[in-house]
Amino acid sequence: MTIFWITGIVTCLVLATLLYFVAKRRHSILGDPLPQTTTAASDRLATRAVTGAVIVTILLLFVMLISSFITSRRLGHMHDQDAMTIEVYGHQWWWEIHYPYPKEPYREVITANELHVPVGTLIRIEGTSNDVIHSFWAPNLNGKRDLLPGYTNDLMFLVDKPGIWRGQCAEFCGLQHAHMSFFTIAESKENFNRWMEAQRQSAADPKTEQTRHGQQVFLTHSCVLCHAIGGTTAGSHVGPDLTHLATRSTIAAGTLPNTIGNLAGWILNAQSIKPGCRMPPNQLSGSDLQDLLAYMETLR
């Protein structure tokens, strides 16, 4: 803000001065040739004005240098503080988000494309990539941070009001780079804790004939090779964790709203929706697909 106010006021002063002299001399601009107006006295005045302006400029630049240095130091100290750590893994072309729980590692929450954070808590994002370079960018929260294969970068921020903001991969990472967005969902501590507690649970066992069959369709098709559903034998993390799929508002990294129709289209042929994505098409009979969808809707 210091830099904003200094540069803002200087810009206004420069423009005002310029307009003042343009107005004052407008007759000579419009018609008569400019009369010779400099004298020894006015030269001296001009020299003094320019010298004064140079000195003020240098002083102001020093003020900005020092205040920016102080701010950077304070930001640097944030990294020493205790913060809630969230791990973000960039994938072609979606985000894997872990909420580690070192005391009981099996209670770690794994989700995709939706970053839930509590308001008023210092957050440390530890980001890395499993394939190519991505860049984590939530413009409403902080700057960009590259996610590099084999290296962990961190990014600190504190959200001061509840809200939902879109974020986007900001480093070209291949064909579907544009369809690699995510949402940051900032909520009160109570709501966040409630969400976290729900995410820690395994998926509920299917209760109806149809959803039981849907689960079987999932477990006996290729889905298990790439996806995990907590509480079942599906435990692969090639694709997004689906344990609480139905709580997410979009699928495929913000590409489509999470509706039953979109899910059906996605499961049958994700390639027609997000060409090149790492999920192959699936041939399912109509009834298998219906049951599978009914089961997916129970993953709350």
Contacting ligand HEC (CB under 6 A), which of 125, 169, 173, 253?
A: 253
Stretch that binds Cu ion, among 32-40, 153-161, 176-184, 289-297 (CB under 5 A): 176-184
Based on the shown chain and the rule CB under 6 A, indicate whether residue 229 belongs to the binding site for ligand HEC.
no
What mask, x for binding ligand HEC by CB under 6 A, covers residues 98 to 137? --------------xx------------------------
Q: Which is nearer to Cu ion, 169 or 296 (CB)?
A: 169
What sign results for the dihedral spanned by CA atoms 281, 287, 293, 296? negative
Judged by CB under 6 A, the chain residues 141 through 170 that form the site for ligand HEC are none
Contacting residues for 231 by C-beta, under 8 A, at least 6 apart? 202, 203, 204, 205, 243
Based on the shown chain and the rule CB under 6 A, indicate whether residue 245 belongs to the binding site for ligand HEC.
yes
DSSP class of residue 244?
T
Contacting Cu ion (CB under 5 A), which of 141, 159, 173, 279?
A: 173
Based on the shown chain and the rule CB under 5 A, indicate whether residue 124 belongs to the binding site for Cu ion.
no
- Using a CB cutoff of 8 Å and minimum separation of 24, what contacts does 284-287 make? 284/217, 284/221
Contacting residues for 78 by C-beta, under 8 A, at least 6 apart? 122, 156
Based on the shown chain and the rule CB under 6 A, indicate whether residue 93 belongs to the binding site for ligand HEC.
yes
CB 146 within 8 A of CB 281: no
Residue 284 CB, nearest distance to ligand HEC (Å)? 7
Based on the shown chain and the rule CB under 6 A, indicate whether residue 54 belongs to the binding site for ligand HEC.
no
- Cis amide bond preceding 93, omega within 30: yes
- Distance of alpha carbon 139 from alpha carbon 142, whole angstroms: 6
At residue 77's C-alpha, the angle toward residues 72 and 80, to 5°, is 150
Q: Which is nearer to Cu ion, 107 or 177 (CB)?
A: 177
Contacting ligand HEC (CB under 6 A), which of 170, 251, 273, 294?
A: 251
Strand 181-187 with 114-118, pairing: parallel
Residue 224 CB, nearest distance to ligand HEC (Å)? 8
Based on the shown chain and the rule CB under 5 A, indicate whether residue 278 belongs to the binding site for Cu ion.
no
Q: Which of 229, 237, 261, 196 is nearest to 94 (CA)?
A: 237
As given in the structure block, the two tokens for residue 17 are 């001065």
Footprint of Cu ion (CB under 5 A): 134, 169, 173, 177, 180
Footprint of ligand HEC (CB under 6 A): 93-94, 112-113, 176, 218, 221-223, 225-227, 238-240, 242, 245, 248, 251-253, 263, 266-267, 274, 277-280, 282, 292
